[in-house]
Amino acid sequence: MLYPSPASVSRALYERATQFLPGGNTRTTVYMKPYPIYVARGAGSRIWDVDGDERIDCINNFTAQIHGHAHPVINEAVRKQLELGTCFGLPTEAEIDLAELLCGRVRSVQAMRFTNSGTEAVMMAMKAARAFTGRPKIAKVEGAYHGSYDYAEVSLDPSPANWGADPSSIPYAQGTPQTVLQDVVVLPFNNPEAARRLVLAHRDTLAAIVVDPMPNRAGLVPASAEYIQALRAVADEIGALLIFDEVISFRLGHGGAQPLWGVEADLTTFGKIIGGGFPVGAVGGRRDVMAVFDPSGGKPVLPHGGTFSANPVSMRAGIAALQLLDHAAFTRLAAMGDRLRAGINAAFARHGVEGQAVGMGSLLKVHLTAREVVDYRTALPHPAEAHALATFMLGLLNRGVFAASYGLMALSTPMTEADIDHVIGAADEAIGDVAR
Ligand code: PLP
């Protein structure tokens, strides 16, 4: 059935949902106009909606489902745990197993704590940095998304109308306290000199610099090596911590992003793929910093709980998911990503449409512009580009490909070369729609 359709079961569900759920569901990111598509089930690289339409899932729950849907090995691990109980007011061996696995993969992570989401992981990392350094401020990249902790949300969507002003003064949501805005320093992405200057201006009050090395909302272009090195160096110079937000970028390689950029962070945040499709987050890093969480000597510097934190279902699913991700899996995912980017870029050239597919490894983003995308401002679509992107995304959707409305795609291990061919073919025709 073509989307949107007056006869759609999704439309009927949406109408029912709006009585109980503002916007018809629980996540702003999954809202679509005129109605979101409600999913009935998923298997491998495919999802089926409530109208019975099958699509290749190219968003994979916003990058989390790196093994697609209902992976038999993950399902088996979860099933075993279900029989043993799902969560307790005591720790389980499962959290040791996952922590050991992650610490073994990321050299800078010597100890860790689990949370229920990436948002909480970032929140705990920022709090840990403040507790460890005794300083109040956090620096973050303009436009970069790190979840919905107030401090992480500052400067999430400035626009040309206000970005001449200090982006730190721009709240994302109404209700952001003024004190939060005062305690966040906003750095331009991929501009080492400007970032260094801004950090030095807050040298005595900055607890941490948080950076995602390939921030989706700042264009999904990789940070330059010089930029990451400059952040590492200036953090060391002023005694602040460098926090790598790897909630998404951990899917770039066996050890995540840090080996790829040749850097070691003081703290790293995780989420998404490390839960194997179940709710999860984690913060890990230097043993001396992580000691702020340690209650063994009395009241910890930073208390941290969470009723469902480290629940063994998420832990066992995460372990199974990571064990499936050997070096060969990342190589294959990256090769599929390269082929998809090349295929989409060739289609833009063939149709004479201004556009580009950027990203790295299994992560890809389509911009409907020929301008060089280097940061949030150059990535933000102009109105005509936003219209063209909407046409492109609708074209994909109605040719059996589901991706995020803003052009993000994240591949999964059950995808086949034939799936990639299908997505390239659908993109080619969708770009044809834009050209018309
Ligand atoms: N950090 C980054 C880089 C993210 O992309 C996200 C979510 O998309 C988060 C943090 C927040 O994670 P969660 O949605 O699990 O709270």
- What's the confidence (pLDDT) of residue 167? 87
Q: Is residue 186 one of the residues assigned to a domain? A: yes
Is residue 266 within 8 A of residue 283, CB to CB? The reply is no
Measured distance CA(88)–CA(146) in Å, rounded: 29
**Residues 119 and 195 both lie in one domain:** yes
Determine how β-strand 408-410 pairs with β-strand 363-367.
Answer: antiparallel
Q: Which domain holds residue 347?
A: 38-66+327-435
**Residues 252 and 114 both lie in one domain:** yes
Q: Is residue 3 one of the residues assigned to a domain? A: no
Is residue 374 within 8 A of residue 227, CB to CB? The reply is no
Segment 222-238, tens digit of pLDDT:
999 999 999 999 999 99
**Residues 107 and 217 both lie in one domain:** yes
Q: Is residue 400 one of the residues assigned to a domain? A: yes
Last residue of a domain, one of 324, 352, 381: 324
Average of per-residue pLDDT across 304-325: 98
DSSP3 helix / strand / coil % (the chain, rounded to 5) = 45, 15, 40
- What value does the mean pLDDT of the chain take? 97
**Residues 91 and 76 both lie in one domain:** yes
**Residues 79 and 169 both lie in one domain:** yes
Structural domain total, the chain: 2
**Is the pLDDT confidence value at 164 over 90?**
no
Is residue 146 within 8 A of residue 152, CB to CB? The reply is yes
- What's the confidence (pLDDT) of residue 38? 98
Q: Is residue 147 one of the residues assigned to a domain? A: yes
**Cα–ligand 1 centroid distance for 6 (angstroms):** 34
The answer, yes or no, to whether any atom of ligand 1 lies below 6 A from the CB of 375, is: no
The answer, yes or no, to whether any atom of ligand 1 lies below 6 A from the CB of 414, is: no
Look at residue 401 and give its three-state secondary structure.
strand
Average of per-residue pLDDT across 299-310: 96
How far does CA 392 lie from the centroid of its chain? Answer: 22
**Residues 300 and 425 both lie in one domain:** no
- What's the confidence (pLDDT) of residue 163? 87
- What's the confidence (pLDDT) of residue 155? 94
Question: How many residues make up the chain in this entry?
Answer: 436
- What's the confidence (pLDDT) of residue 237? 98
Look at residue 359 and give its three-state secondary structure.
strand
**Is the pLDDT confidence value at 128 over 90?**
yes
**Residues 194 and 166 both lie in one domain:** yes
What are the tokens at 215?
A: 């921030």
**Residues 395 and 259 both lie in one domain:** no
DSSP state of 215: -
Q: Is residue 248 one of the residues assigned to a domain? A: yes
- CATH at residue 359: 3.90.1150.10
The answer, yes or no, to whether any atom of ligand 1 lies below 6 A from the CB of 59, is: no
**Cα–ligand 1 centroid distance for 283 (angstroms):** 13
Segment 84-116, tens digit of pLDDT:
999 999 999 999 999 999 999 999 999 999 999
**Residues 299 and 362 both lie in one domain:** no
Average of per-residue pLDDT across 165-178: 90
**Residues 148 and 259 both lie in one domain:** yes
The answer, yes or no, to whether any atom of ligand 1 lies below 6 A from the CB of 245, is: yes
The answer, yes or no, to whether any atom of ligand 1 lies below 6 A from the CB of 63, is: no
What are the tokens at 392?
A: 């492109």
Residue 140 a catalytic site member? no
**Is the pLDDT confidence value at 344 over 90?**
yes
Strand order across the 281-285 sheet: 111-115, 281-285, 267-271, 241-245, 206-211, 137-141, 184-187
Q: Is residue 374 one of the residues assigned to a domain? A: yes
Q: Which residues contact 151 (CB under 8 A, 6 or more apart)?
A: 123, 126, 138, 140, 180, 183, 184
Residue whose C-alpha is closest to residue 279's, from 86, 37, 46, 28: 86
Measured distance CA(381)–CA(99) in Å, rounded: 40
Query: Can you tell me which residue has the tokens 């995808």?
Result: 415
Average of per-residue pLDDT across 272-292: 98
Q: Whose CA is nearest to atom 8 of ligand 1?
A: 147
- What's the confidence (pLDDT) of residue 373? 98
**How far is the CA of 153 from the CAs of 97, 161, 274, in angstroms?**
32, 19, 23
**Residues 223 and 344 both lie in one domain:** no
The answer, yes or no, to whether any atom of ligand 1 lies below 6 A from the CB of 248, is: yes
Query: Can you tell me which residue has the tokens 């005794």?
Result: 134
In this prediction, residue 165 has a pLDDT band, given cuts at 50, 70 and 90, of confident
Segment 385-421, tens digit of pLDDT:
999 999 999 999 999 999 999 999 999 999 999 999 9
Residue 375 a catalytic site member? no
**Is the pLDDT confidence value at 294 over 90?**
yes
- CATH at residue 138: 3.40.640.10
Query: Can you tell me which residue has the tokens 């040309």?
Result: 160
**Is the pLDDT confidence value at 147 over 90?**
yes
Q: Whose CA is nearest to atom 4 of ligand 1?
A: 146
Last residue of a domain, one of 290, 324, 358: 324
**Residues 412 and 350 both lie in one domain:** yes
Q: Is residue 308 one of the residues assigned to a domain? A: yes
State the closest ligand 1 atom to the C-alpha of 246, by its place in the atom list counted from 1: 3
State the closest ligand 1 atom to the C-alpha of 272, by its place in the atom list counted from 1: 15
Is residue 74 within 8 A of residue 65, CB to CB? The reply is no
Last residue of a domain, one of 324, 351, 382: 324
Kindly name the residue from 140, 272, 375, 406 that is annotated as catalytic: 272
Segment 348-364, tens digit of pLDDT:
999 999 999 999 999 99
Q: Is residue 1 one of the residues assigned to a domain? A: no
In this prediction, residue 50 has a pLDDT band, given cuts at 50, 70 and 90, of very high
In this prediction, residue 5 has a pLDDT band, given cuts at 50, 70 and 90, of very high
Judge residue 244's burial from the number of C-beta atoms within 10 Å of its C-beta, 0-12 exposed, 13-18 middle, 19 or more buried.
buried
